[in-house]
Structure 1
Amino acid sequence: MRFMTGINLVSLPIANLCIFSLPIFIALSVFSLARQPPTLRFSLTVASIFAFSFGVLALTMHDKHLPGIYTSAINGALYLYAALQIIRKTRPHNAVVWSMHGFCLLLASTLFIRAAILCAGWLSPGSALDAIGPELTAIVLFGNMLCLDALILCFPLLDFMDAQSRLSQATQEIIERSKIDVLTGAYNRSHMQSRLHHHVSRCSSSGETFSLILFDLDHFKAINDTYGHVIGDRVLAQVGSQVKSSLRRYDELFRFGGEEFLVILPDTDANHACDIAERLRQEIANLLFDGPNISEQFRITSSFGIASTTKATRSADILLQQTDAALYKAKAQGRNMVCV
């Protein structure tokens, strides 16, 4: 523009302000990657720099060195700011982020070097450094453009990696949700099978002892018949929530089917499992459920069956059969009890 139109307000001050917009856009892209809007302080600072720079460049545009010194120094400071924002607002452990940070620092360095070369030529006019100054600044600017191109290419790469990460997270969430029984919040039966086989395999290889609790809500069909299935679903949900909150963090609750629930108790023998089952039985018996009418409330009881692994345990199905037999024993003896 200088060669075509000469030095004027468009070819020097406004053109250099357009160059200032490059690191500003880099910083705005960092805000976008961090999913944060630009701060008011950032916007006011940018507006002030543009207004002040226009005045400085308009007054010094006919000088050989001052516009270049000023624009290089300000541009270097803006790229340095962008480098700091990249580390502050994105993931520092990401290799692409570190590359972007490095490119911004290189850009800032090359611009500060250009400012130093021009400043030396300005302080010593006619010197050898002043004579080769244009060649040196051209080399520095070439390196500057290479760094800028590499930096710009990092943004779509980082955006792609972020999209992949979010897709992976969403997929994992779907997988986790597929394991959950929506009504009770317990794991579903299909996940129960894989967890049972996992624990039986550990039992066979390392001798781990674990226990199963299978419990059933007594006369649950009568609740559905008397109060309706909506109330019955609320009972199941409330029981599931109560039992989950009462178990240890490493215990696992599953909805076995209908009104039956299964609990896997890792590193737990039969005696300890009986204590846990008895506590759960009492807690369920103490729950108060609302009927269709506000004034109508009722309670339920539950029956528990327990089985524990031994060194001879080789099959999850056999262990389940033992637990189921213990549950039917509790029902046969009058319900609302724990049997092994």
Structure 2
Amino acid sequence: MFVSCKDNQTVDSECEDIVYSSPIGFPEIPFPLDNPIKHETVMLGQKLFYDKTLSKDGSVSCASCHKQEYAFSDAGKSVSRGVANEAGMRNSPTIVNSAYHNSFFYDGRVQQLELQIKEALLSPNEMYSSEAHIVATIQSNNAYKALFYKAFGNDSIDVLRVCKAIACFTRTIVSGDSRYDLYKRGVNINITPIEKQGIELFFSDKTQCASCHSGFNFTDYKFYSTGLYTHYYDKGHYYTTKLEQDIGTFKTPSLRNIVLTLPYMHDGSIGSLSELLQHYNHGGKGFINKDKRIDSLHLSNTELQALEAFLLMLTDSSMINNPAYSHP
């Protein structure tokens, strides 16, 4: 996120002309008409994002499962733990660049970020809160009342406004300043031969990696089965569409900051990049809905190392150290 004020003003809570810019080469950050960008709303959302008191027992916040140092994922955990240490159903994905997504959750069951946030607030596997608890907690805090007034023009508090504020903050969390981005822009940085080989392989017809992990965000936002299993107990996108061909299909994740967001797949069952690449190199397992592009690649160890070297280039250290995203 690049932030600026009109007439070179200091960026603070009183600045009315702050501009939230997208990374170079990205489309403008999209904000819905019913939740437009406003600095005061972003600041409120940032505070709510890190507030554990919104959860049922005060133990979990949004940031508990979406940590900035791990590109806002829950690295190291196959599934996250919510209130009362309750295990989640799926791996916690990164929320970076979520402003550009057209659906949310691995099964794509909601199309608005605000609705995804509401589910997380109320889910027994996550924050296990209630609308009454959330409203009462915020109403008992005079500082929050002032922030809601600045954000929305009055101090009326409801869960929709809570979700709008968190969503507004979340949409400002963008990543597009990795070594690969600099290289693509023509910045004179040192690219090793193995990294260059990895770039060529990734975008080649041989691997077809970029046919799904495409565009500026390295995802087409669509749903596929990659042959992780021969039988899927979690039926994925099928729960949304009820179509047989969607059993075992899941949303294509972005590859940005991938080294920080392990483990991988919808259930966190693959623990390392090398293991992940081996899965695709072997062509996955037999499954009726497996995408036809998932087939044995016959890549050498050197080629696999090259692909891994390229994926490491997608790490954006400026994003994970950006104070605009940190605990206020």
- Would you say same fold, with TM above 0.5? no
TM-score w.r.t. length of structure 1: 0.20
Report which of the two has the higher share of strand. Answer: 1
Q: Larger Rg: 1 or 2?
A: 1
TM-score w.r.t. length of structure 2: 0.21
